[in-house]
Structure formats: structure tokens, C-alpha cells
Amino acid sequence: MVVASSAVGSFYQDFDLTWGDKRAKIFNGGQLLSLSLDRVSGSGFQSKRDYLFGRIDMQLKLVAGDSAGTVTAYYLSSQGPTHDEIDFEFLGNVSGQPYILHTNIFAQGKGNREQQFYLWFDPTRNFHTYSVIWKPQHVIFLVDNIPIRVFKNAESLGVPFPENQPMKIYSSLWNADDWATRGGLVKTDWTKAPFTAYYRNFRAIPCNNCGSKRSSSSSVSDAQRQWQPRDELDATSRRRLRWVQKYFMIYNYCTDLKRFPQGFPSECRQH
């Protein structure tokens, strides 16, 4: 595993444009990246490095206007049938209707842990920061440094947790009009193409005292200290988390009785 510095780097040094021909672009001296989607193809990129624990920040400005049918995915993932994955997916919508932020976590190849949210701002007007704090105790999803979801390590209940597989960072913009908007009822309007999303200010802060017990005594830099919370969120963060989940959460697998008539998954007991 290669760890990244806490400084904001260049997209040239941190990422590879992996598909979409010239629809994925890096410009402004490596400080800005864009992905585009047209009728022929979407596009995507991935990190050059693997990451195991730490904080990942990326600022995104999503497809503006009529984005129905499009999905902008930004996630960490390992490879193989027992892969781990930590997902942000932004589901487009018709003009004037809100994006849906879809989150999910896979551990040892098993996902089905979806939570969905509306955002409390227009994510197409300005850049906003979408972050993952990934520690052995939990995964925290944040939007503009406000926690929206906490997935706690529940291995004691027999629930797999992503902790052994280093993951790369991926992002893609693609057409998913068979399911993305109102369950596939609203199709992509190709007269509005190309659809473009923008990225800037990627930062990865390693967690030097995560992982093996031998590393727990290693020194922690000031930059790492800034984000490393205690095992639980502080009072202000817990308040913000409750605010988001009360007013902006629109789906939670842990409350879906139709989906789990025999009882909710074990980890739902502690969320």
C-alpha cells in the first residue's frame, strides 16, 4: 500500500483517466478534472495509489440542469468477488428536482446497505466537499464536513467490515436511465448532452495509528490530528448527523420492513 500526503496534490500525479476517450480531462495545471457523458460513452478515472484507512476528501460540482438518467459515482473499492467498497452515487434528476445521494458499503463482496439522502443545497451551482473517514472502528460519510452516515464495525455481531483490503478511489459518469431516476421512468434527454461533472481539491490523509497494533504508537502529524475523532463523534457532530438523518434521509435499509420481513440485519441494532 502506498500512502498519500495530506497536501492537496495534482490530478496528474494522483489519478489515471481510465475510460471514455477524451471525455475525461485534466486541466488548470492538474488542479481541475472533468468527466463527460454523451450518447456514445461516459467516462471515468481511478487513483494511482491504494489506500487503507484515512480520510479522503474530494470537491465535486455535479451535472447541472436536466441530469435525469445520469449517475456520478465516486467511491473506494478493492477488486475481486469478495471486494470491499465505500460508495457515494449521485442520481440525476429533471431540472428543479433534487439530486439523490445514494450511499452503500460492501464488505467481503456483500453490499445491500443503502441509505439515500437529499442534499440541503444545489450541488450543481458550486463545488462541495464529499468525504470518507475510514477507520477500523467505523466508516463516516461527510458532506461539507457534516456527517450524514456512520457505519460502525459490528464484527462482534458477525457482520463483515472493510478493514483488510486496500482500496483505490474511482469515479465515473455514466448513463443509468434504466433505474437511476424514478426507478427508470425518466429517461436521459440526449439533446442536453454532453453532461459534465467537475472535480477539484482531492486530499488523502493517512491514518498512521490505524491497522496493526505495532503502528498504534507511531507519531501523528498535526494534519492527521485535525480530523482524527475519538471512536465516537463529538456532540456537535452527533447533532448534525441527527439533523441530516431526520430532515434529509429518504431511504434507510435498516427501516425497510418489506425488504427484511424476517428481521433487520444485525448491524442495524446499533445504528
Annotated catalytic residue, options 85, 163, 232, 267: 85
Residue 196: strand, helix, or coil: strand
The runs of H, that is alpha helices, within the chain are: 11-14, 222-227, 235-247
C-alpha span between 205 and 197 (Å, rounded): 24
Identify which of 98, 132, 100 has the alpha carbon closest to the alpha carbon of residue 251. Answer: 100
DSSP string over 137-190: SEEEEEETTEEEEEEE--GGGT---S-SS-BEEEEEEEE-TTTTTGGGTSPP-G
- The answer to whether the bond into 136 is cis (omega within 30° of 0) is no
| Grid coordinates given for 263 | 428481521
The reply to whether 85 belongs to the active site is yes
The one-character DSSP state at 107 is B
Residue 113: strand, helix, or coil: coil
Annotated catalytic residue, options 89, 163, 232, 267: 89
Identify which of 269, 263, 244 has the alpha carbon closest to the alpha carbon of residue 103. Answer: 244
The reply to whether 267 belongs to the active site is no
Which residues are designated catalytic?
Answer: 85, 89
